[in-house]
Amino acid sequence: MDAPSYTPQDAPVPEGVVVVERASTAQELGPKLNRTAADVVRFLMQQGEMVTATQSLSDDMIELFAAEIGAEIRLVDPGEEQEVDLRRKLGIDEFEEVDLSSAPPRPPVVTVMGHVDHGKTKLLDQIRNANVVEGEAGGITQHIGAYQVERNGQKITFIDTPGHEAFTAMRARGAQVTDIVILVVAADDGVMPQTVEAIDHARAADVPIVVAINKIDRPTADPQRVMSELAEHGLVPEAWGGDTIMQEVSALEGIGIDDLLDQVLVVAELEDLRADPEGRARGVVLEANLDIGRGPVATVIVQSGTLKVADPVVAGAAWGRVRALLDDRGQNVDSAGPSMPVQVLGLSDVPTAGDEFVVAPSEKIAREVAETREHWKRLSSLGREAHALSGGARLEDIFQQIQRGEAATLNLIVKADVTGSLEAVTESLRKLERDEVKLSFVHRGVGGITENDVQLASASNATIIGFNVRPDRKARELAEAEGVEIRTYEIIYKLIEDVEAAMVGMLAPEFEEVVTGEAEVREVFRVPRVGPVAGCYVLNGTITRGSKVRFLRDGVVIWKGTISSLKRFKEDVREVQAGYECGVGLSDFQDLKEGDIIETYEEREIARTATG
């Protein structure tokens, strides 16, 4: 069966590290490694993987083949390499050192965080009402996601979505807009779980914290207690020789607000925030939506340069020419400089919060860049499955990192049922630290594993460890989408054993997957109020309602979820066997096509035995 196109086994492989895109096909991979597509296909066939030359390969397959022929590769997301070129086109040089020492100062951008009901919203309202920037008095304040106030002639920008969700979601996308966090703690309630979360999120992002001890108007207020509780979490007040600024306030009665703003300005000064107002603007999309009358509307915070009406812009995969700029009072403005939030009208599409916003050298380039990104975005969602588990030091790949001789740090988020067990778990984990592996606790908390934890894990490349707690559905879904590893345990020594095993490269997978059924999509039709329904033919096994499912197109996973409805003719049924036709409804997946394969599977937990 040898074809003449096979390359001899000992043909030289390229020297050095070859960059290979995830989800490459054999046709693309082969030539990069001085082999033919047929070499790749044949090798994979020997490994029991039936692929065609034009089918996207998984990370494992690519790595296996590279290892087989002794080539060194680095897997990158599709578009990642192009992104460098695209950014160069936009005039952005990643490695350029920018000297800002003579640039003018810029206003700080502040996010308010803290436990629910501690007064974040009240504080933001109070600050806004008392200090709106002088000028067009009477302009109706508009919610655009951020606003600016003035204090002693200096401006401060506030992100007016309080809490760490937005903050961390942005960071997970690689955007950092916040310069200073105001941590609100109610003086009558003290440090609560979300207070601790907020501290950890701010720390993970390396953003300084100013504490606002709120509700001091309440008779039960006890600021001293709050301070000592905060000190336990490493925030020691200046009064006690620490370096955390704490300000007593009442958001309700407007007490201490100006002092709080002064403190923010002190920290801003220390941080020495500067930006060059000259040149083409760059910034970050804070929020965006589709407005019926106005089209796509995006609020951006300018980080450098000055954004002007008529500028050609790119925001993620959206582009356009700025039609109008509106400030936080809904007024038209001609331009926006550093740290100023503005609404931008005129984009082709709705960008995603966290997208970088850049003024392009020309409209043509703006369009080219956006369209190329859109193209890669589509490709990478096809290859999603293949790259879901990429990234640095998580439990699963810590060993490889150690072996490469890199000093590895294992980033962990630990959630437990009660404080006692949280302490016990942390203590035991700390004992595992060795020279070559350090542990870093990005966040520790009591309670179930939430979407927030997953977002933080994704932003800081951490593994989540749960002790007597489980992720909720949203957390699980997000973890799956973001490739975040969650491990849950009920027995402490099992947990320790696993982490230990990971360090020596013997981590057993937690779940084993068993495919239970396979069906082919023969026809797709839309049912009003139900959405798309796939008319399928069951090829193997059994398709069961409620079971986990993967959608495969040309062998590539394009969607994962559950089967929400299953019908034989018009009847709802629980399961359909091989050899029969059925209708499958998948509530939130719209992009079905004829020829797609539906694969249902079960995850069976593997009993972990002592590794040795």
- The contact set with ligand GDP (CB under 6 A) reads 114, 116-122, 162, 214-215, 217-218, 250-252
Report phi then psi at 468, rounded to 5: 60, 20
Q: Report in angstroms how near the CB of residue 214 gets to ligand GDP at its nearest.
A: 5
Residue 21 CB, shortest distance to ligand GDP, in Å, is 44
- Nearer to ligand GDP (CB atom), residue 40 or residue 260: 260
CB of 256 to ligand GDP, least distance (A): 9
119 or 312: CB nearest ligand GDP: 119
- Collapsing DSSP states into helix, strand and coil, what is residue 487? strand
Nearest to 149 by CA among 195, 104, 112: 112
Contact 417, 468 (CB under 8 A): yes
User: Which three-class secondary structure state does DSSP give residue 209?
Assistant: strand
Kindly state the smallest distance separating residue 185's Cβ from ligand GDP, in Å.
10
Q: Which CB sits closer to ligand GDP, 217 or 374?
A: 217
Q: Minimum Å distance from CB 388 to ligand GDP?
A: 34
**CA 512/CA 1 separation, integer angstroms:** 35
The residue type found at 404 is R
Burial class (CB in 10 A: 0-12, 13-18, 19+), 340: buried
Residue of this chain nearest to ligand GDP (CB atom) = 119
What is the rounded CA–CA span in Å between residue 395 and residue 397? 6
Q: Report in angstroms how near the CB of residue 191 gets to ligand GDP at its nearest.
A: 14
3 state SS for 345-376:
EEECCCCCCCCEEEECCCHHHHHHHHHHHHHH
CB nearer to ligand GDP: pick between 118 and 329: 118
Q: Give the E-state strand segments of 361-497 in sequence order.
A: 408-416, 437-446, 463-467, 486-489
Residue whose CB is less far from ligand GDP, 42 or 218? 218
Closest CA to 314 of 291, 342, 284: 284
E strand or H helix that includes residue 426 = helix 419-430
Q: How far apart are CA 438 and CA 443, in angstroms?
A: 15
Q: How far is the CB of 47 from ligand GDP (least distance, A)?
A: 55
Helices 59-69, 37-46: inter-axial angle, 10-degree rounding: 100
Closest to ligand GDP by CB, 80 vs 117, is 117
Q: Which is nearer to ligand GDP, 218 or 321 (CB)?
A: 218
Return the structure tokens found at 508.
């057993």
Please, what is the minimum distance in Å from the beta carbon of residue 251 to ligand GDP? Answer: 4
Closest to ligand GDP by CB, 117 or 436: 117
Q: In this complex, which beta carbon is closest to ligand GDP, that of residue 189 or of residue 453?
A: 189
